[in-house]
Amino acid sequence: MTEPDKLHPAPRFLVIAASIVFILWGISQAQTVLVSFLVSVFFAILATPPVLWLERKRLPVVVAVLLVVAGMIFILLAIGTVVGTSINSFYAALPQYQARIQEQVHAFKGILAGKNVALPEKILLQYVNPAAILNLTVGLFMRLGSALSDIVLILLTVTFILLEITSFPVKLRAVLGDPHRVFPRFTVFVNDMKRYMVIKTLISLATGILVTIWLYILHVDFPILWGFLAFLLNYVPSIGSTIAGIPAVLLTLLQLGIWRAVLVAAGYMVINLALDYGVEPRLMGRKLDLSTLVVFLSLMFWGSLLGPIGAVLCVPLTMTLKFAFESHESTRWIAVLLGPETLTEKIPPAAKKRI
């Protein structure tokens, strides 16, 4: 019988391609379950540092986990109450903003007519339609809310994951039959992942708070809602921060005029530049070892496959894939392609020959 590694390249490629297609189909079919699991892992990663800190204070593992989970429940309830109220108020006021958009379209049409430029109102509403962006914003909150609808199951999963944190290495060593074995590469990967998620959360939280304060100072409607949107979309690389500012700027334009909208846009720009390009790189310490193009493509891939949660978690998911590819000699060349240009200087000679 022919061994899999000795198959002809063409059949082997077809088998691999068919396997990938089958896996992606399975992921799309199990999207609801996977999204809940990924959200649970995300919360568990954020909760790990306080749990370990409480353990170092000589608290039992169960007590530490229950305290941290109770704190998470309190925070989620507080955020859900405040943000949920803002979403409902914004949704109730949406028809008023749409009416203002109609008025401004009529006024803009009159200005164009005075300059002998004829442009049908239908075209203005179809291609220059701020109401569509506001509706999309409401839809985004609804989809995120549906992703968190199984919050009880998510918190239970988080609890069990946290309870297994300290015992998992012992179990893994028992399975491998080596009680003294260490996993340096896996430990580095886990620490990098935890560091990225915690720092990204702190930066996103700071972004949301500063945006809320800035919009409150400028008397923009629903500042808490736009701050929460900035917090969420700051996880999305490359385009998240820009997208978060568009609805707030449009709403300010409708509510307070063009100059106040310019101030809102300038505030978003200063906050994002200061935190994303000033503070975050210093806290991260080193780069993610991912190509810029790969980060952008992973955003589209995971977003289309898993929805908004996939877009939020696209970087950790891609980092996990890269680590998996690095762990086997036959797929290490894929990890090299996913990495930045400077990574090629560290490629082992065997991997270079394979490329």
pLDDT at residue 134, as a whole number: 65
Give residue-wise pLDDT tens across range 132-156.
Answer: 666 667 666 666 666 566 777 888 8
Segment 165-188 mean pLDDT:
64
pLDDT at residue 318, as a whole number: 84
CA distance 100 to 194: 46
| Report for 165-174, 244-253, 335-344: range of highest mean pLDDT | 244-253
Q: What is the pTM of this model?
A: 0.75
pLDDT at residue 166, as a whole number: 67
pLDDT at residue 149, as a whole number: 64
Answer yes or no: is 298 within a domain: yes
Q: What is the DSSP string of 118-143?
A: ---HHHHHHHS-HHHHHHHHHHHHHH
Answer yes or no: is 277 within a domain: no
Q: For residues 124 and 154, which has the higher predicted lDDT (pLDDT)?
A: 154
Domain that holds residue 333: 287-355
Alpha helices in 218-288 (DSSP H): 223-233, 240-256, 258-274, 280-284
Confidence of residue 346 (pLDDT cuts 50, 70, 90): very low
Answer yes or no: is 330 within a domain: yes
Answer yes or no: is 299 within a domain: yes
Give residue-wise pLDDT tens across range 86-121.
Answer: 877 877 777 777 777 777 666 666 666 666 655 555
Answer yes or no: is 165 within a domain: no
Q: Give the CA-trace dihedral at 51, 312, 84, 74, to 10 degrees.
A: 0
Answer yes or no: is 313 within a domain: yes
- Tell me which of 17-26, 53-62, 153-162 is least confident: 17-26
Confidence of residue 179 (pLDDT cuts 50, 70, 90): low
pLDDT at residue 352, as a whole number: 45
Answer yes or no: is 355 within a domain: yes
- The burial of 204, by beta-carbon neighbours within 10 Å (0-12 exposed, 13-18 middle, 19 or more buried), is given as buried
Structure tokens at 309: 């949660």
Answer yes or no: is 67 within a domain: no
Give residue-wise pLDDT tens across range 193-236.
Answer: 888 888 888 898 999 999 999 999 999 888 988 898 899 888 88
**Number of compact structural domains in the chain:** 1
pLDDT at residue 266, as a whole number: 93
Q: Give the CA-trace dihedral at 228, 255, 220, 199, to 10 degrees.
A: 30
